[in-house]
Amino acid sequence: MQMIYSAQEMNRTIQQLKEKGQTIGFVPTMGYLHEGHQSLIRHAKAMCDIVVLSIFVNPAQFGPNEDFETYPRDIKRDKIIAEKEGVNIVFNPNVDEMYPLGESMLVTVKDRVDVLCGSSRPGHFDGVATILVKLFNIVMPDKVFFGLKDAQQVAVVDSMIKNFHYPIQLVPCQTIREKDGLAKSSRNIRLSSDERKEAVHLYQGLKEGLLLVNKGERSAAHIKSQVTLYLETHLRLGKIDYVEVLGYPDLQSKELLNGRFIIACAVQYEHARLIDNIVANVNNKLEGEPYAANINEK
Protein backbone atom coordinates (compact mmCIF):
# COMPACT_ATOMS: atom_id res chain seq x y z
CA MET A 1 0.00 0.00 0.00
CA GLN A 2 1.36 3.40 -1.00
CA MET A 3 1.07 6.47 1.25
CA ILE A 4 0.97 9.81 -0.57
CA TYR A 5 0.92 13.20 1.16
CA SER A 6 1.25 15.74 -1.66
CA ALA A 7 -1.33 16.67 -4.28
CA GLN A 8 1.33 16.87 -6.99
CA GLU A 9 2.60 13.34 -6.31
CA MET A 10 -0.96 12.01 -6.09
CA ASN A 11 -1.89 13.56 -9.43
CA ARG A 12 1.27 12.30 -11.10
CA THR A 13 0.73 8.76 -9.78
CA ILE A 14 -2.86 8.69 -11.04
CA GLN A 15 -1.83 9.88 -14.49
CA GLN A 16 0.72 7.04 -14.69
CA LEU A 17 -1.92 4.49 -13.66
CA LYS A 18 -4.42 5.82 -16.21
CA GLU A 19 -1.80 5.61 -18.95
CA LYS A 20 -1.66 1.88 -18.17
CA GLY A 21 -5.44 1.61 -18.58
CA GLN A 22 -6.17 1.23 -14.85
CA THR A 23 -9.59 2.30 -13.55
CA ILE A 24 -9.60 4.37 -10.36
CA GLY A 25 -12.10 3.88 -7.55
CA PHE A 26 -12.10 6.65 -4.95
CA VAL A 27 -13.33 6.55 -1.34
CA PRO A 28 -13.10 10.03 0.29
CA THR A 29 -13.09 9.91 4.11
CA MET A 30 -12.21 11.95 7.17
CA GLY A 31 -10.56 8.91 8.70
CA TYR A 32 -11.27 7.01 11.91
CA LEU A 33 -12.35 4.18 9.65
CA HIS A 34 -15.17 1.82 10.60
CA GLU A 35 -17.18 -0.94 8.96
CA GLY A 36 -19.07 1.56 6.84
CA HIS A 37 -15.85 2.78 5.26
CA GLN A 38 -14.64 -0.80 4.86
CA SER A 39 -17.81 -1.61 2.94
CA LEU A 40 -17.15 1.30 0.56
CA ILE A 41 -13.59 0.05 0.02
CA ARG A 42 -14.87 -3.43 -0.79
CA HIS A 43 -17.32 -2.04 -3.32
CA ALA A 44 -14.51 -0.04 -4.91
CA LYS A 45 -12.24 -3.11 -5.07
CA ALA A 46 -14.97 -5.11 -6.76
CA MET A 47 -15.57 -2.46 -9.42
CA CYS A 48 -12.15 -0.88 -10.09
CA ASP A 49 -8.51 -1.81 -10.68
CA ILE A 50 -7.06 0.69 -8.20
CA VAL A 51 -8.61 1.87 -4.93
CA VAL A 52 -7.62 5.29 -3.60
CA LEU A 53 -8.67 6.20 -0.06
CA SER A 54 -8.30 9.79 1.10
CA ILE A 55 -8.02 10.67 4.78
CA PHE A 56 -8.48 14.36 5.45
CA VAL A 57 -10.45 16.10 8.19
CA ASN A 58 -11.73 19.07 6.23
CA PRO A 59 -11.90 22.28 8.31
CA ALA A 60 -14.09 24.05 5.74
CA GLN A 61 -17.11 21.87 6.50
CA PHE A 62 -17.09 22.49 10.26
CA GLY A 63 -18.93 25.44 11.74
CA PRO A 64 -17.43 27.70 14.45
CA ASN A 65 -19.07 25.75 17.28
CA GLU A 66 -18.63 22.28 15.79
CA ASP A 67 -16.19 19.52 16.60
CA PHE A 68 -13.25 19.98 14.20
CA GLU A 69 -10.59 19.97 16.91
CA THR A 70 -12.06 16.98 18.72
CA TYR A 71 -13.08 14.97 15.65
CA PRO A 72 -11.60 11.47 16.21
CA ARG A 73 -8.30 10.84 14.46
CA ASP A 74 -6.08 7.74 14.44
CA ILE A 75 -4.00 7.53 11.29
CA LYS A 76 -1.99 4.50 12.47
CA ARG A 77 -5.18 2.52 12.98
CA ASP A 78 -6.59 3.76 9.67
CA LYS A 79 -3.49 2.61 7.79
CA ILE A 80 -3.77 -0.87 9.28
CA ILE A 81 -7.45 -1.13 8.28
CA ALA A 82 -6.82 0.27 4.80
CA GLU A 83 -3.98 -2.17 4.13
CA LYS A 84 -6.04 -5.08 5.44
CA GLU A 85 -8.87 -4.15 3.05
CA GLY A 86 -6.50 -4.00 0.07
CA VAL A 87 -6.43 -0.25 -0.54
CA ASN A 88 -3.76 0.56 -3.13
CA ILE A 89 -3.13 4.21 -2.27
CA VAL A 90 -3.90 6.29 0.83
CA PHE A 91 -3.87 10.04 0.16
CA ASN A 92 -3.29 11.77 3.50
CA PRO A 93 -2.59 15.48 2.90
CA ASN A 94 -2.42 18.14 5.59
CA VAL A 95 -4.47 21.35 5.66
CA ASP A 96 -1.72 23.46 4.06
CA GLU A 97 -1.52 21.01 1.16
CA MET A 98 -5.25 21.15 0.45
CA TYR A 99 -5.69 24.88 1.24
CA PRO A 100 -2.36 26.44 0.17
CA LEU A 101 -3.98 29.90 0.04
CA GLY A 102 -6.26 29.31 2.99
CA GLU A 103 -10.00 29.31 2.39
CA SER A 104 -9.68 32.09 -0.19
CA MET A 105 -11.95 30.35 -2.69
CA LEU A 106 -14.95 28.16 -1.90
CA VAL A 107 -17.64 26.41 -3.92
CA THR A 108 -21.15 27.66 -3.13
CA VAL A 109 -23.94 25.08 -3.18
CA LYS A 110 -27.39 26.54 -3.80
CA ASP A 111 -29.53 23.45 -4.34
CA ARG A 112 -30.40 20.54 -2.02
CA VAL A 113 -28.84 22.25 1.02
CA ASP A 114 -31.63 24.26 2.67
CA VAL A 115 -33.15 21.18 4.34
CA LEU A 116 -31.97 18.36 6.64
CA CYS A 117 -28.45 19.02 7.99
CA GLY A 118 -27.95 21.99 5.68
CA SER A 119 -30.68 24.03 7.36
CA SER A 120 -28.88 24.08 10.72
CA ARG A 121 -25.30 23.98 9.37
CA PRO A 122 -24.95 26.97 7.03
CA GLY A 123 -21.89 26.65 4.84
CA HIS A 124 -21.34 23.00 5.67
CA PHE A 125 -22.01 21.73 2.15
CA ASP A 126 -20.00 24.57 0.64
CA GLY A 127 -17.07 23.09 2.54
CA VAL A 128 -17.93 19.56 1.43
CA ALA A 129 -18.24 20.57 -2.22
CA THR A 130 -15.03 22.61 -2.09
CA ILE A 131 -12.91 19.74 -0.78
CA LEU A 132 -14.50 17.29 -3.23
CA VAL A 133 -13.72 19.57 -6.18
CA LYS A 134 -10.11 19.61 -5.01
CA LEU A 135 -9.99 15.85 -4.46
CA PHE A 136 -11.70 15.02 -7.75
CA ASN A 137 -9.22 17.22 -9.61
CA ILE A 138 -6.28 15.56 -7.87
CA VAL A 139 -7.42 11.92 -7.90
CA MET A 140 -9.36 11.98 -11.19
CA PRO A 141 -11.43 8.90 -10.27
CA ASP A 142 -13.58 6.87 -12.62
CA LYS A 143 -15.97 5.95 -9.81
CA VAL A 144 -16.51 7.50 -6.39
CA PHE A 145 -18.11 5.68 -3.48
CA PHE A 146 -20.27 7.25 -0.75
CA GLY A 147 -22.46 5.77 1.97
CA LEU A 148 -26.16 6.53 1.98
CA LYS A 149 -25.97 7.14 5.72
CA ASP A 150 -25.33 10.76 4.73
CA ALA A 151 -27.92 10.78 1.97
CA GLN A 152 -27.95 14.57 1.69
CA GLN A 153 -24.24 14.51 0.95
CA VAL A 154 -24.86 11.87 -1.73
CA ALA A 155 -27.55 14.10 -3.26
CA VAL A 156 -25.19 17.11 -3.26
CA VAL A 157 -22.38 15.06 -4.84
CA ASP A 158 -24.82 13.78 -7.46
CA SER A 159 -25.70 17.39 -8.35
CA MET A 160 -22.06 18.50 -8.26
CA ILE A 161 -20.89 15.79 -10.65
CA LYS A 162 -23.62 16.74 -13.12
CA ASN A 163 -23.16 20.52 -12.78
CA PHE A 164 -19.38 20.42 -13.22
CA HIS A 165 -19.48 17.74 -15.94
CA TYR A 166 -17.16 15.39 -14.09
CA PRO A 167 -16.68 12.10 -15.97
CA ILE A 168 -17.22 10.25 -12.69
CA GLN A 169 -19.78 7.59 -11.78
CA LEU A 170 -21.29 8.09 -8.34
CA VAL A 171 -21.81 4.78 -6.53
CA PRO A 172 -23.96 5.20 -3.39
CA CYS A 173 -23.74 2.24 -0.98
CA GLN A 174 -26.16 1.13 1.69
CA THR A 175 -25.80 2.22 5.31
CA ILE A 176 -23.83 -0.20 7.46
CA ARG A 177 -25.42 -0.76 10.85
CA GLU A 178 -24.72 -2.29 14.23
CA LYS A 179 -26.64 -5.45 15.10
CA ASP A 180 -29.27 -3.37 16.89
CA GLY A 181 -29.74 -1.07 13.88
CA LEU A 182 -27.69 1.98 14.90
CA ALA A 183 -25.90 3.40 11.86
CA LYS A 184 -22.12 3.05 12.06
CA SER A 185 -20.47 6.42 12.67
CA SER A 186 -17.13 7.74 13.90
CA ARG A 187 -19.11 9.89 16.34
CA ASN A 188 -20.76 6.91 18.09
CA ILE A 189 -17.75 6.60 20.41
CA ARG A 190 -18.83 9.88 22.02
CA LEU A 191 -22.12 8.48 23.25
CA SER A 192 -22.48 7.55 26.89
CA SER A 193 -23.64 4.00 27.60
CA ASP A 194 -27.20 5.23 28.24
CA GLU A 195 -27.18 7.39 25.11
CA ARG A 196 -25.90 4.44 23.07
CA LYS A 197 -28.81 2.30 24.25
CA GLU A 198 -31.30 5.04 23.43
CA ALA A 199 -29.83 5.83 20.02
CA VAL A 200 -31.26 2.64 18.49
CA HIS A 201 -34.61 4.43 18.40
CA LEU A 202 -33.47 6.69 15.55
CA TYR A 203 -33.63 3.80 13.10
CA GLN A 204 -36.69 2.33 14.76
CA GLY A 205 -38.51 5.63 14.30
CA LEU A 206 -37.56 5.79 10.63
CA LYS A 207 -38.80 2.24 10.15
CA GLU A 208 -42.13 3.26 11.64
CA GLY A 209 -42.40 5.80 8.83
CA LEU A 210 -41.43 3.26 6.18
CA LEU A 211 -44.03 0.85 7.55
CA LEU A 212 -46.71 3.49 6.99
CA VAL A 213 -45.57 3.89 3.38
CA ASN A 214 -45.62 0.13 2.90
CA LYS A 215 -49.20 0.12 4.16
CA GLY A 216 -50.17 2.68 1.53
CA GLU A 217 -49.76 6.00 3.35
CA ARG A 218 -48.56 8.75 0.99
CA SER A 219 -49.00 11.92 3.04
CA ALA A 220 -45.50 13.22 3.80
CA ALA A 221 -46.85 15.37 6.65
CA HIS A 222 -48.57 12.42 8.34
CA ILE A 223 -45.50 10.19 8.01
CA LYS A 224 -43.32 12.97 9.44
CA SER A 225 -45.68 13.51 12.38
CA GLN A 226 -45.72 9.80 13.24
CA VAL A 227 -41.94 9.47 13.11
CA THR A 228 -41.62 12.60 15.25
CA LEU A 229 -44.13 11.21 17.75
CA TYR A 230 -42.20 7.95 17.99
CA LEU A 231 -38.92 9.75 18.65
CA GLU A 232 -40.46 12.15 21.18
CA THR A 233 -41.89 9.14 23.01
CA HIS A 234 -38.66 7.13 23.09
CA LEU A 235 -35.91 9.73 23.43
CA ARG A 236 -35.07 10.93 26.92
CA LEU A 237 -31.45 12.02 26.53
CA GLY A 238 -31.36 13.13 22.90
CA LYS A 239 -32.93 16.26 21.45
CA ILE A 240 -34.54 16.07 18.00
CA ASP A 241 -32.88 18.41 15.53
CA TYR A 242 -35.16 17.52 12.62
CA VAL A 243 -37.42 14.91 11.09
CA GLU A 244 -38.06 15.26 7.36
CA VAL A 245 -39.85 13.35 4.61
CA LEU A 246 -38.79 14.57 1.16
CA GLY A 247 -38.38 13.56 -2.46
CA TYR A 248 -34.98 12.12 -3.33
CA PRO A 249 -32.43 13.02 -4.57
CA ASP A 250 -33.92 16.47 -5.27
CA LEU A 251 -34.77 16.89 -1.54
CA GLN A 252 -37.94 18.79 -2.41
CA SER A 253 -40.98 18.91 -0.15
CA LYS A 254 -43.92 16.84 -1.37
CA GLU A 255 -47.49 16.75 -0.20
CA LEU A 256 -47.87 13.19 -1.44
CA LEU A 257 -44.98 10.77 -1.91
CA ASN A 258 -44.38 9.29 -5.34
CA GLY A 259 -41.31 7.53 -6.64
CA ARG A 260 -38.15 7.99 -4.61
CA PHE A 261 -38.19 9.54 -1.16
CA ILE A 262 -36.17 9.90 2.02
CA ILE A 263 -37.24 9.74 5.67
CA ALA A 264 -34.47 11.36 7.70
CA CYS A 265 -33.73 12.54 11.21
CA ALA A 266 -30.99 14.11 13.31
CA VAL A 267 -30.69 13.94 17.09
CA GLN A 268 -28.31 15.92 19.28
CA TYR A 269 -26.75 14.19 22.28
CA GLU A 270 -24.40 15.84 24.75
CA HIS A 271 -21.23 15.20 22.76
CA ALA A 272 -22.49 13.78 19.46
CA ARG A 273 -25.00 14.68 16.79
CA LEU A 274 -26.38 11.57 15.07
CA ILE A 275 -28.05 11.43 11.66
CA ASP A 276 -29.89 8.57 10.02
CA ASN A 277 -32.23 8.00 7.11
CA ILE A 278 -34.09 5.53 4.99
CA VAL A 279 -34.07 6.03 1.22
CA ALA A 280 -36.73 4.05 -0.59
CA ASN A 281 -39.18 4.00 -3.48
CA VAL A 282 -42.94 3.81 -3.13
CA ASN A 283 -42.95 1.21 -5.90
CA ASN A 284 -40.33 -1.27 -4.66
CA LYS A 285 -39.99 -0.21 -1.00
CA LEU A 286 -36.30 -1.09 -1.00
CA GLU A 287 -33.52 0.68 0.88
CA GLY A 288 -29.88 1.00 -0.04
CA GLU A 289 -28.12 -0.67 -2.91
CA PRO A 290 -31.13 -1.76 -5.01
CA TYR A 291 -32.15 1.91 -5.08
CA ALA A 292 -28.60 3.22 -5.35
CA ALA A 293 -28.09 1.67 -8.76
CA ASN A 294 -30.63 4.12 -10.13
CA ILE A 295 -29.49 7.31 -8.43
CA ASN A 296 -28.12 8.99 -11.54
CA GLU A 297 -31.26 8.34 -13.58
CA LYS A 298 -33.43 11.37 -14.25
Q: In the chain, what are the domains?
A: 2-173 (3.40.50.620), 186-284 (3.30.1300.10)
Q: What amino acid occupies position 7?
A: A
Query: CA-CA distance, 212 to 11, in Å (whole number)?
Result: 49
Residue 50 annotated as binding site: no
Q: What's the pLDDT at 175?
A: 92
How do the pLDDT tens digits run along the chain, 298 residues long? 999 999 999 999 999 999 999 999 999 999 999 899 999 999 999 999 999 999 999 999 988 777 788 788 999 999 999 999 999 999 999 999 999 999 999 999 998 988 898 888 888 899 999 999 999 999 999 999 999 999 999 999 999 999 999 999 999 999 999 999 999 988 899 999 999 999 999 999 999 999 999 999 999 999 999 999 999 999 999 999 999 999 999 999 999 999 999 999 999 999 999 999 999 999 865 544 333 333 333 3
Catalytic residue among 37, 43, 124, 201: 37
pLDDT of res. 137: 97
Q: Is 234 part of any known ligand binding site?
A: no
271 is in an annotated binding site: no
pLDDT for residue 288: 47
What's residue 285's pLDDT?
Answer: 52
Beta-carbon contacts of 104 under 8 Å, excluding residues fewer than 6 positions away, are none
Residue 61 annotated as binding site? yes
Residue 294 confidence (pLDDT)? 35
298 is in an annotated binding site: no
Any catalytic annotation for residue 124? no
Q: Name, in order, each residue with C-beta under 8 angstroms of 277's C-beta and a sequence gap of 6 or more.
A: 148, 149, 151, 175, 206, 262, 263, 264, 265
Contact between residue 269 and residue 240 where contact means Cβ atoms under 8 Å apart: no
